[in-house]
Amino acid sequence: MITVENVSKSFPSTHSPVVALREVNLVVNAGSLFGIVGPKEAGKTTLARCVALRERPDRGTVRYDGMDTSRLAGRKLWGAQRQVAMMEPTLRPERTVAGNIAAPLERMGVEADRRRSRVGTLLDVIGLSRSGARLPSELSPGQQRRVAIARALATEPSVLLADDPVDGVSSEESGAVLSVLDRARSELGATVIVTSRDADIARRLCDEVALLDRGTVVESGTLLSLLGKPGSPIAEALLPRVDTPRALLSSYDRAVDVILVGFAAVGALLPEASARFDVDFTTIGGGLTRFGDTPVARFRLGVEGQRADAALAWMAERGAHLSTPMFGLRDVAA
Ligand SMILES: Nc1ncnc2c1ncn2[C@@H]1O[C@H](COP(=O)(O)OP(=O)(O)OP(=O)(O)O)[C@@H](O)[C@H]1O
């Protein structure tokens, strides 16, 4: 587990210092796929570099499994840094794909047989088993990025840090890059931390996320828990939109926004509630999406029937996240 405690970091500048991080607190659980998202210059890279012990905080500390890293120096610091690999996007153009991946192992003096076996495993993980002898210039930008990830994983770090992993990669290729990060976690057991300006990367890949803005953590937690948090900026950015003119709601007994998480809820909860309580649901807005492999729906629903409130309460008991009903404008008019 990595714990970031009250970390602040500024950089000198000609006028006043630039504050990159202010009192940042975070917990990254071992084995998680953690996203640090936020706008331009939010401090994402600085935070990633502090976590990777490539940058020293001015105040606060980063703990690895409880160990205070701010006191480490020399060989101990180097040993801790080796646990966290940072994906560097630039490959050595004169070396083959396999040669690029093997380079960190060569520097460590790993013998040839073990090097070959590790490179073979990694070529498989990145889906380029047949491309070991090719040069980077023969690969697409997305394939090159996958090689860069494999190289970072060569020395079996426990944490992989990918700063903006799909920057400069086309949207068609970005899925393959993200799925390599997913495999790094699921098959190689690495904790993976990604940074991005695009919160949608968190939806596609991450199970935990922190939203950073002007050096401050706005919110953090597991993605699925944030979905049910009223007013969560991350949930708002990632869930299907439910904009509807207010007038459209007035013809229903109740109108609510409902968030359903998981196959069972998305597939069955509305028809079951409708049958059990003899109510009609009309979808006024919203839609379906996926958070990783988990289907998630947000609908704005019009509900009609005597037992509308009972149906909504029953759904909430079964894990549906419901907004406060926008109470029957029909009731008000009556
Ligand atoms: N080495 C440095 N020297 C001076 N200022 C820096 C340095 N690194 C970062 N900064 C400043 O710190 C602030 C946060 O930068 P950082 O790169 O961490 O943000 P970011 O969220 O990764 O941004 P982006 O999405 O634009 O890459 C910015 O104002 C940046 O200019």
Q: How far is the CA of 18 from the centre of ligand 1 (A)?
A: 9
| Mean pLDDT, rounded, of the chain | 92
Residue-wise burial string across 290-311, b where 16 or more C-beta atoms lie within 10 A, e elsewhere: ebeeebbbbbbbbbebebbbeb
Separation of CA 97 and ligand 1 centre (Å): 31
pLDDT the model gives residue 326: 67
The class level of CATH for 2-235 reads: alpha beta
Compute, in angstroms, the gap from residue 220 CA to the centroid of ligand 1. 20
Separation of CA 13 and ligand 1 centre (Å): 12
**Cα(2) to centroid(ligand 1), Å:** 22
CA distance 44 to 51: 11
Protein residue with least CA distance to atom 23, ligand 1: 41
- The ipTM, to two decimals, is 0.94
Question: Alpha-carbon distance 316 to 310, whole Å?
Answer: 10
Q: For atom 12 of ligand 1, which residue has the closest CA?
A: 20
Minimum-distance ligand 1 atom for the alpha carbon of 38: 21
Segments making up each domain of the chain, as ranges: 2-235, 246-333
pLDDT digits (tens, 9 = 90+) for 246-265: 777 778 888 899 999 999 88
Which protein residues touch ligand 1 with a CB less than 6 Å away? 11, 18, 20, 38, 40-46, 197
d(CA 145, CA 161): 13
pLDDT, tens only, 29-38: 999 999 999 9
| Predicted pLDDT of residue 333 | 35
pLDDT score for 325: 65
Dist. CA 42 → ligand 1 center (Å): 7
Share of the chain above pLDDT 90, in %: 81
Whose C-alpha lies nearest to ligand 1, atom 18?
Answer: 43
Residue 269 tokens read as: 């909860």
Which of 8, 11, 21, 195 for mutating ligand 1's site (highest number of atoms within 8 Å of CB)? Answer: 11
Least confident of 148-152, 217-221, 228-232: 228-232
Shortest CA distance to 292 belongs to which of 224, 244, 227, 230?
224
Q: Quick one: pLDDT at residue 259?
A: 94
Model confidence over 98-150: pLDDT tens digits? Answer: 999 999 999 999 999 999 999 999 999 999 999 999 999 999 999 999 999 99
Euclidean distance between the first and the last CA atom of the chain, given in angstroms as a whole number: 58
Instruction: Kindly tell me if the per-residue pLDDT of 313 is higher than 70.
Output: yes
Ligand 1 centroid, distance to 21 Cα (angstroms) = 9
Q: Rounded to whole angstroms, how far apart are CA atoms 129 and 150? A: 12
Residue of minimum CA distance from atom 28 in ligand 1: 41
Nearest one of 161, 154, 166, 155 to 122, comparing CA atoms: 154
Beta strands in the chain (DSSP E): 2-11, 18-28, 33-37, 59-64, 67-68, 84-86, 159-163, 191-196, 208-213, 216-222, 254-261, 280-291, 294-304, 321-322
Q: Is the pLDDT of residue 206 over 90?
A: yes
Instruction: Give the ligand 1 atom nearest the CA of 12.
Output: 4
User: Is a pLDDT exceeding 70 seen at residue 327?
Assistant: no
Q: Once rounded to an integer, what is the mean pLDDT over residues 65-92?
A: 92
Pairing of β 321-322 and β 216-222 = unpaired
Q: What is the pLDDT of residue 328?
A: 57
Q: By the 8 A CB rule, do 181 and 162 touch?
A: yes
Q: Please give the average per-residue pLDDT across 299-324, as a whole number.
A: 92
pLDDT confidence bin for 244, thresholds 50/70/90: confident
Class in CATH terms, 246-333: alpha beta
pLDDT at 334: 32
